[in-house]
Structure 1
């Protein structure tokens, strides 16, 4: 079966996945989990090799922070641009192009070069990886109706966690035994291997070009999604093309984006500075810091899957998305905020470790919540753009956080990490409040369809 065979036009109310389609759906989902694993292994290399890179290239904390933030220079712009293209070009080919480009962009750095090559490589890598998450989610969720999307959406987010969990010990070993440039080469080669699998196996599902009203006609779920898509579920009328500006002006899109911003702030901190924070400020060894990093991302994976299960259960019980998605995600962000705000004044030892793991780990669940919320809100022909623009706004956190933290460390020494954690707690507090007070897809879907 080719990817052109899996999205036939079907009459309203008859779309029902066959066993072969379900197998294909989870095959594509598994490939995209690996895609996200590679994506975040690429991102994590600099953080894992921070001390080696700074020593090898003679970089200050501020210079290293700038080099790390360079990754996000074009990340947000490309995320928005390619997100808009994803409503016109098949995600299969966009994902293929991204994987090829991010492998190619790392080749010069793997071979040699100094700070200029490092920054150039990271800028190009960021441009290639910027659209990865929203387009991967769009491709994955095209295989599932709205009420079945929590698990596959969460599994794609889990790929982020798995990428770091696998990358942390493996790349640390490569860095210590073969040098940090070998680690860069390794992740680039893995990206090439993924491309060779995606070409024959990748594709979009039967929900790619249809409204959820068509896919689930006759059910309450379908009628609500029909309103979101601007489609008459009962009349079969042609969908209206809702302007992007109307979607972006909804409180739900704004709330999901603000909440997800907090999550990405934590991700940027963890990827670039968490190993150095653990070693320089909290006194962990290299091996010990790797273990704590793995605990952080491990809890993140548990939180993502737990959120997906709880959200799915609440939706099946008839709870509105305002509470099933916005409420669950917002509470997790607020717990993370409390842990981060308590961390700088906690006694060193087990308490510090628990607070750090909780503060950084629980915030990751909002990634899945934000994507499924916007997917529920946006019409089918506007989802790629709505997700891509959200991702573009959110990932500016990756441009700000590493540079800011590096500057704080240069000015205040190890005390700078304390200020960075307090700032992170404040960001999570505001993000959690946004999720709880602004997200309401049912309300805003009705307004878009009016």
Structure 2
């Protein structure tokens, strides 16, 4: 599950990395780019819930095989895009397939680990996403320099195919092949329950900086005068904070399960320095601030799923993970075109303040 979340973020971040050159070649504005990101997020929002339900009902093996095969084809389809409509369609398809990523990771953690280790297990499974964001510039940039941006998307298809072959071996374990009923008393999540909306708000709003930095950091660095190659050499730094944050907050959340409210209050305060990014000099200071913001975001994700599974139980882990990632995607879908418009107008301070 760590590897599949890594691959999913390589696939989605290849566009974020190459956005400056792709937008220039296709003559797309920042606002249009925001709508492309929204297309991914809308599909991701819907499919998170769907994949979570299917996983809870039919098991990991079948669901993950179908999801990764679908999104691998969708990732390769980016190589054939020629403008806004085709890029939007490719991105929408990718979002639908990748919706299985985090429901699969959380389902695996609660299905195979005792309760006292589930936050750390979830952190390990989810950490592949952060690691994928870190390694994407390091892996994709040489491919881009050798074969262009279309060749980079063909490369992502090969990575997905390799995982599918590996999964056919790993998933032979009986615990993965068939659905597992977790014999623990649970409460069915209901949308009329305010605790469910508490979870949604923790996850969606706490994670908004993640989407903003992943999709717009390259464009912000371009505004500072950096070339595409220079951007690729630096863009791994902010997601490294996300990767470290998963392990730190996973460890802390397991130790502080009785005081999640205090942890979340601390995270809220720690989110505020991101607003200072446009006022920081040079390149290193803004990168450090984005690194720290993604470190904090990891705490909202881990703390949020810890809260959700503690309230509704591990039986509904797939649904909880899907709802969390889906709610974040809904907020990203709404916010990204707005940020694109602000970036077109060079209102960077307003963007970072809003996030």
TM-score (ref. length: structure 1): 0.72
User: Which whole-Å deviations, capped at 9, do the CAs of 1:325-351 have from their partners, x for residues lacking one?
Assistant: 44334423421x221123334444554
Structure 2 stretches lacking a partner, 5+ long: none
User: Which whole-Å deviations, capped at 9, do the CAs of 1:229-260 have from their partners, x for residues lacking one?
Assistant: 24xxxxxxxxxxx44317x6143x33332121
Q: Which has the higher helix share?
A: 2
Residue 243 of structure 2 is aligned with which of 282, 297, 301? 301
Residue 147 of structure 1 is aligned with which of 105, 116, 122? 116
Mapped to 2, the partners of 1:295 and 1:196 lie a distance apart of 31
Q: Name the residue aligned to 2:323.
A: 389
Q: Name the residue aligned to 2:89.
A: 120
Answer yes or no: is the 8 Å Cα contact 2:242–2:297 preserved in 1: yes
What SS does the corresponding residue of 1:142 show, helix, strand or coil?
helix
Mapped to 2, the partners of 1:329 and 1:211 lie a distance apart of 30
Alignment of 1:44-443 (within 5 A): 44-202=13-171, 204=175, 208-212=180-184, 229-230=185-186, 242-245=187-190, 249-251=193-195, 253-280=196-223, 282-314=224-256, 321-323=257-259, 325-335=260-270, 337-348=271-282, 350-410=284-344, 412=345, 414=346, 416-424=347-355
User: Which whole-Å deviations, capped at 9, do the CAs of 1:183-240 have from their partners, x for residues lacking one?
Assistant: 111112211110111122125469942235xxxxxxxxxxxxxxxx24xxxxxxxxxx
Answer yes or no: is the 8 Å Cα contact 2:339–2:351 preserved in 1: yes
Mapped to 2, the partners of 1:361 and 1:275 lie a distance apart of 18
User: Which whole-Å deviations, capped at 9, do the CAs of 1:353-386 have from their partners, x for residues lacking one?
Assistant: 4323222332123222222322222234433223
Mapped to 1, the partners of 2:22 and 2:200 lie a distance apart of 33
Mapped to 1, the partners of 2:43 and 2:179 lie a distance apart of 30
Structure 1 stretches lacking a partner, 5+ long: 1-31, 213-228, 231-241, 315-320, 425-450
Q: 1:244 to 1:403 in 2, by over 3 A?
A: same
Answer yes or no: is the 8 Å Cα contact 2:13–2:133 preserved in 1: yes
* 1:136 Cα offset (Å): 2.3
Mapped to 2, the partners of 1:57 and 1:285 lie a distance apart of 18
User: Which whole-Å deviations, capped at 9, do the CAs of 1:128-163 have from their partners, x for residues lacking one?
Assistant: 112321222112331101101122111122111110
User: Which whole-Å deviations, capped at 9, do the CAs of 1:44-90 have from their partners, x for residues lacking one?
Assistant: 01111111111221112222221222112221111112222222111
TM-score (ref. length: structure 2): 0.90
Q: Whose Rg is larger?
A: 1
Mapped to 2, the partners of 1:82 and 1:269 lie a distance apart of 25
Answer yes or no: is the 8 Å Cα contact 1:264–1:397 preserved in 2: no
Answer yes or no: is the 8 Å Cα contact 1:79–1:391 preserved in 2: yes
Range with bigger deviation, 293-302 or 203-212: 203-212
Count of residues in Structure 1 that have an aligned counterpart in Structure 2: 352
Answer yes or no: is the 8 Å Cα contact 1:47–1:272 preserved in 2: yes
Answer yes or no: is the 8 Å Cα contact 1:67–1:122 preserved in 2: yes
Answer yes or no: is the 8 Å Cα contact 1:161–1:298 preserved in 2: yes
Mapped to 2, the partners of 1:341 and 1:270 lie a distance apart of 12
* 1:105 Cα offset (Å): 1.7
RMSD of aligned residue pairs (Cα, Å): 2.4
Q: 1:144 to 1:361 in 2, by over 3 A?
A: same
Mapped to 1, the partners of 2:193 and 2:159 lie a distance apart of 40
Mapped to 1, the partners of 2:48 and 2:129 lie a distance apart of 17
The one of the two structures with greater contact order (alpha-carbon pairs below 8 A, sep at least 6) is: 2
Range with bigger deviation, 32-41 or 400-409: 400-409
* 1:278 Cα offset (Å): 1.5
What SS does the corresponding residue of 2:42 show, helix, strand or coil?
coil
